[in-house]
Amino acid sequence: MRSQPGSRVPFRRTGIAVAVVVGCLIVAGRITGVVVDWLWFSSIGYVGVFWTTVSAKALLFAAVFAASASVIAASGFLAHRYARRPGSWQVETARLSGTPEFISELADQLAPRIPWRISIAGSAIVLGLLIAAGEVSNWDLVLRFLHQVPYGERDPVFGQDIGFYLFSLPAYLAFKNWLLQLLFCSAIVATVVYGVRGDITFERPPCRLSAAAAAHGSALLGVFFVLKAGSYALDRFLLLYDDNGVVVGAGYTDIHVELPVLWVLIGFAGAAAVASWINMRRRDYRVPAASLVLVFGTSFVFALIYPALFQRLYVKPSELQLEMPYIQHNIALTRMAYGLNQIAVKPFPAEQQLNLTSLEANRATIDNIRLWDVQPLMDTYAQLQEIRTYYKFLSVDIDRYRLDAGYRQVMLSARELEPSMLPANAQTWVNLHLLFTHGNGVVMSPVTEKSTEGLPSFYLQDIPPVAHGGPAIREPRLYFGEGGEGYVIVKGSVSEFDYPKGKDNVYTTYSGTDGIAIGSTTRRSLFAWQFDDPNILLTDYVTNTSRILLHRNIQDRVRTIAPFLSLDHDPYLVTSNGRLFWMQDAYTTSPWFPYAQPGFGDGANYIRNAVKVVIDAYNGTVDFYVSDPNDPIIRTYQRIFPGLFKPLAAMPRDLQQHIRYPEDLFQIQAQLYRAYHMDAAEVFYNREDLWQFPRELIGIDGGNSPGTPMTPYYMIMRLPDEAREEFVLILPMVPSQRDNMIAWLAARCDPPNYGKLIVYAFPKDKLVYGPFQIEARIQQNTEISQQISLWNQMGSRVIRGHLLVVPIENSILYVSPLYLRAESGQLPELKRVIAAYGDRVVMEETLGGALAALFKESAPLASPPQGTADARAREALAHYDRAIERLKAGDWSGFGAELDALRPLLEALGGGRTEGQK
């Protein structure tokens, strides 16, 4: 039964109504998202950043859409205007091909019914919107291109400033790709119009085109060949990113074969374009066919086959000789891209002259040897200091402070709120968004000290934080941290939970500066819609003074403001003037540095730690400080966002004392430096002096036998030939396929030497035990291995800590902690300290005891031959024994006093021996 024509009208109207409603919802979602972002950026003082980003995206979208839709529509309307009228063409085609005439009759009836202008315009609009939506993500690329600054160095092949590769080349490639999309869409629309109008047929004999379709196709094909010529021109610069297995960047074959071939291909593509445009009048199918064969055939032969044969038959037999200058380019520009050319190289004698006197002279280093590893300490913090189940320590940070006890390396962790840890029946909307809003306090402990039970000592502990030698905390609340997922509403009619106190709880009200006012019904409706949470609108707890806090996770907060920065994985907590701050290292990166070896991320080959970000844990304020003003990328962003960045000197001086060299950057640089410390092309080619990271045994029962690569670690020490101790980040190095140590790399963290990198290279003619060799000696020590086996058989588990390489003066000391944990428990205890020096390995309960045992037999005691010298020798020995007792007890002042008393006796004994010998 046929439906009545009128019955389709309601259905069509319903469909249109549904489509309109869905479209309105999508648009409303977009608008509310932009409004919420505007309110948030305004609340934190970066509304200028918001408008720069939004206007760039809007202008780029509008420009791309207008250009794309116009070009596509023009192509479609030209096809519509010059296409043949349906009828005769289809009939003739059907007659020649033997196709029934009803097909042509059907096309004859269908074509006039199509609203061509509306269809073409609609298609152009839809395709234009899709193309523009895809190009909006390039807003950053466009702004960098428009505001670029020069790098100041030129590439060795084309002589272009490196800024061209960082800023211009990516923009040109994106522009080329957009033009190719545009050409493809224009061709598709024209083809559809010609096909429906009957100007293109695919019946036998093969495809036939009308004169208009042939001319249109030739014109578009000519434009394609022009774009292809431009693509070949850009490919010349892309040679600087080739990887032929020997060198990253243009090699001998690239320069002497592929570069000339690209010029030839540019000429062929230009000739093909001219031929295609001439063919608009001749309309001979052989011309485009010959043009395609000319361009793509020669490209296949000359750009693929010929270079491969040349490389294999000519270059490979004399590879080192021919590739040497290009290897040198790769070495020089890779070192430049990663800042490796700034590394100073100094000799390290690796002597065996340490004794108790030299340890006393380097007491600042000894006092700050880290015995607590991150994971055991986090487990201990969790058991001793989380207080309630809804608090959690998410990470442990390492820093240094000038305290009453001196310059101390400490480990600290923020006690953050974890709402998901609330009991299931307590995870109500009010609890999650109005009552439990913030963490409270910080735990801090020295890296070396422990209690008699093997637990850490505390500089800061409990809620509210109680200081025992650590910095006083006046504002311990953390509304912003490494957790902080979701929004909270403050200044409501219900007070916020602050911290537990006995059986009762203490409550507070947020008095900080962050937050967006949501007191009005309009604002509440806006955020209820944005977060799909009607409770914001319906609750009675929101008052006229209420504020909503967004982006409380500090990395999410920084990324929302500056999405163009890459962030270090480890933001760290700092206490300053009684308040808590987060410090986040941020990087500028690029995959477009010529001749540089990709070393991290998604093929990136350039990195600078250009920005230090400081986030107030209570107020949520975010400050961006430029730490590398020479970086061209950050200088470009300073032009784009003039109010975003501040000079590093503007950072409060107390916070400047806590900047540190970032671990992620150091790891990347060390990884590249393993090979790129070789600055001679021949040595680099042969990999004669390749380094690698040492291995160590960590974890339960010492970990796996193959070992785990060592990672960089912070420590306070006095570098060789330096006057005072400082905070440094270090990593030892060993030769490839060997375990003896060959060098150690250090990054200085304290002003005014912040950012300076030094490699201390060992003599190549001297064997210095590496970490894994020391690990083997520890495993082979019968006393240590028997004790570990005994503990493991008594229901406990032994956890081997990281092995630290501790440079002292011109010698190397090794220290490793050993933890004990009940098999079913979660409270590791620091039970022993293993120390190694030279051929000796000892294990004692404390670091002082281990050092005393390690150096007891090597004390420089003279044996006087006669007379009163015997009494002085006995007195010296008594002072020495008391010094050892003080050292074992950790009494450094008493240890120093005994050594001071020992020195004149030893000097007198030396003089007495001389007289006796005479």
Tens of pLDDT along 356-382?
888 888 999 999 999 999 999 999 999
Judgement on whether residues 401 and 533 belong to the same structural domain of the protein? yes
Give the model's confidence band at 915: pLDDT under 50 very low, under 70 low, under 90 confident, else very high: very low
Q: What is the pLDDT of residues 621-672, one digit of tens each?
A: 999 999 999 999 999 999 999 999 999 999 999 999 999 999 999 999 999 9
Q: What is the pTM of this model?
A: 0.87
pLDDT higher than 50, residue 395: yes
Same-domain check for residues 194 and 240: no
1 against 25, higher pLDDT: 25
Domain annotation covers residue 412:
yes
Shared domain for 64 and 132, answered yes or no, is yes
Q: What is the average pLDDT across 84-103? A: 48
Based on the fold, state whether residues 684 and 809 are members of the same structural domain.
Answer: yes
Return the pLDDT at 579. Answer: 96
Res. 397: pLDDT tops 70: yes
In this structure, the answer to whether residues 533 and 387 fall within a common structural domain is: yes
Q: What is the pLDDT of residues 743-800, one digit of tens each?
A: 999 999 999 999 999 999 999 888 899 999 999 899 888 889 888 888 887 778 899 9
Predicted local confidence at residue 914, as pLDDT: 40
Tokens of 855: 């150096």
Instruction: Check residue 912 and give its pLDDT.
Output: 44
Average pLDDT over residues 7-14: 57
Instruction: Judge whether 743 and 732 are in contact, CB under 8 Å.
Output: yes
463 in a structural domain: yes
* Confidence class for position 29, pLDDT limits 50, 70, 90: low
830 and 707, same domain (yes or no): yes
Of 200, 228, 258, the position where a domain reaches its end is 200
What band does 94 get if pLDDT is binned at 50, 70 and 90? very low
Q: Are residues 781 and 873 in the same domain?
A: no
Q: How confident is the model at residue 100 (pLDDT cuts 50, 70, 90)?
A: very low
For the chain, the average pLDDT equals 87
Q: Which of 602, 625, 659 is the last residue of a domain?
A: 659
3-state secondary structure of 439: strand
Average pLDDT over residues 598-605: 89
> Does 622 share its domain with 716?
no
The band of 867, judged by pLDDT with boundaries at 50, 70 and 90, is: very low
Could you tell me if 627 and 659 are in contact, meaning their C-beta atoms sit under 8 angstroms apart?
yes
Q: Are 168 and 236 contained in the same domain?
A: no
How many percent of the chain have pLDDT more than 90? 64
Number of domains in the chain: 6
pLDDT of residue 811: 92
Question: What is the pLDDT at residue 98?
Answer: 47
386 and 533 inside one domain: yes
Does residue 184 share a domain with residue 63? yes
> Residue range 123-134: average pLDDT?
93
- Rounded Cα distance between 175 and 717, Å, is 53
Q: Which of 199-203, 420-424, 726-730, 836-840 has the lowest mean pLDDT?
A: 199-203
Q: Residue 11 above 80 pLDDT?
A: no
DSSP codes joined into one string, 250-281: --HHIIIIIHHHHHHHHHHHHHHHHHHHHHHH
Band of residue 484 on the pLDDT scale cut at 50, 70, 90: confident
The DSSP annotation for 804-850 comes to EEEEETTEEEEEEEEEEEETT----EEEEEEEEETTEEEEESSHHHH
Look at residues 613, 633, 659 and tell me which one is the last residue of a structural domain.
659
Query: Does 668 map to a domain?
Result: no
Number of alpha carbons in the 13 Å side-chain half-sphere of residue 237: 21
81-90, 184-193, 325-334, 697-706: least confident range: 81-90
pLDDT of 766: 85
- Alpha-carbon distance values, 689 to 320, 685, 737 (Å): 17, 10, 11
- pLDDT of 288: 83
Question: pLDDT value at position 108?
Answer: 52
- CA separation for the pair 553, 484 (Å, rounded): 5
For 166-208, write each residue's pLDDT tens digit.
999 999 999 999 999 999 999 999 988 888 877 777 665 566 7
Q: How confident is the model at residue 81 (pLDDT cuts 50, 70, 90)?
A: confident
Please indicate, yes or no, whether residues 129 and 222 belong to a single structural domain of this protein: no
Give, to the nearest 10 degrees, the angle between helix 869-888 and helix 892-917. 160
CA 520 remoteness from chain centre: 41
What domain range includes position 802? 676-851
**189-203, 804-818, 899-913: least confidently modelled range:** 899-913
pLDDT at 831 over 60: yes
The answer to the question of residue 782 being in a domain is yes
CA distance 312 to 299: 19
Q: What is the pLDDT of residues 242-301, one digit of tens each?
A: 998 888 999 999 999 999 999 999 999 999 999 999 988 877 778 888 889 988 998 888
**pLDDT confidence band for 893 (50 / 70 / 90):** low
Answer whether residue 524 shows pLDDT above 90.
Answer: yes
Prior bond of 205 cis (ω within 30°) = yes
pLDDT confidence of residue 823? 76
Q: Quick one: pLDDT band at residue 113, thresholds 50, 70, 90?
A: low
Q: What is the pLDDT of residue 286?
A: 82
Is the per-residue pLDDT at 702 higher than 80? no
| pLDDT exceeds cutoff 60 at 869 | no
pLDDT for the residue numbered 208? 75
24 assigned to some structural domain:
no
Decide if 161 contacts 152 (C-beta within 8 A): yes
Q: Is residue 344 part of a domain?
A: no
Write down the pLDDT at residue 655. Answer: 96
* Residue 796 is assigned to a structural domain of this protein: yes
- Which residues have C-beta within 8 Å of that of residue 870, sequence separation ≥ 6? 864
Q: Where are the alpha helices (DSSP H) in 535-597?
A: 535-538, 554-561
